[in-house]
């Protein structure tokens, strides 16, 4: 509890919005069935402050607000589970990301991809915590057979995911576009750029 408190204080002191954020209530004081108000002015200031400190674009718009509401209110139980699991995996993700000199914020991708489930399987065949497709796994020399599927190996799949994102970033020179390519593939992003008339803004 002391360590958690110290970490929370460090985080909130770094990102504190004293004058604007008068509505902030500590998590242990929020009733389980309450709906937290999401004020555009506060969310935009917070995202802008985060954006200034990261190479990943943190633009605030109504799509972003909808996902914040999803995780803060509609799927609060899921968020609690994910936050409980995160300390088990984040140190390992951060070590690999740091080794490749990549933004540490990329450690949140498995939250979206699989909710930290190492055996997750998508309807299109992606597998593991990082939801790696079969062809991508083969391209990066992960073993897949009747006996083993290294996409479900957390350490190996993390390295492959980082290598993919690193190569994608070297092509697009933009982490946001690289994250998009992780979801739809590099060729999917190239098609989108072509359809937009050459625009590269996400």
Q: Which residues are catalytic?
A: 113
DSSP 70: I
Q: Give the distance from CA 158 to its chain's centroid.
A: 13
Q: Which of 74, 23, 76 is nearest to 46 (CA)?
A: 23
DSSP 140: T
| Residues paired with residue 132 on neighbouring β-strands, in sequence order | 127
C-alpha Rg value of the chain to the nearest Å:
19
Q: Give the distance from CA 87 to its chain's centroid.
A: 15
| Residues paired with residue 127 on neighbouring β-strands, in sequence order | 121, 132
Please give the biggest Cα pair distance in the chain. 59
- Per DSSP, the residues of 84-136 read HHHHHHHHHHHHHHHHTT--GGGGGHHHHHHTT-TT-B-TTS-BTTTTB-HHH
């Amino acid at each position: 509890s002391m360590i958690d408190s110290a970490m929370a204080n460090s985080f909130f002191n770094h990102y504190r919005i004293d004058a604007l954020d008068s509505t902030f209530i500590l998590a242990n004081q929020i009733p389980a069935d309450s709906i937290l108000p999401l004020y555009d002015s506060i969310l935009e200031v917070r995202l802008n402050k985060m954006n200034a400190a990261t190479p990943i674009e943190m633009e605030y718009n109504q799509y972003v607000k909808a996902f914040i509401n999803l995780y803060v209110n509609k799927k609060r139980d899921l968020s609690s589970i994910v936050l409980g699991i995160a300390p088990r995996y984040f140190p390992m993700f951060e070590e690999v990301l740091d080794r490749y000199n990549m933004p540490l914020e990329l450690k949140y991708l498995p939250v979206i991809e699989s909710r930290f489930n190492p055996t997750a399987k998508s309807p299109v065949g992606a597998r593991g915590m990082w939801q790696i497709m079969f062809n991508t796994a083969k391209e990066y020399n992960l073993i897949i057979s009747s006996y083993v599927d290294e996409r479900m190996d957390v350490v190996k799949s993390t390295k492959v995911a980082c290598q993919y994102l690193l190569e994608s970033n070297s092509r697009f020179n933009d982490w946001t576009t690289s994250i998009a390519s992780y979801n739809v593939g590099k060729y999917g992003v190239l098609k989108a750029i072509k359809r937009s008339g050459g625009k590269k803004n996400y």
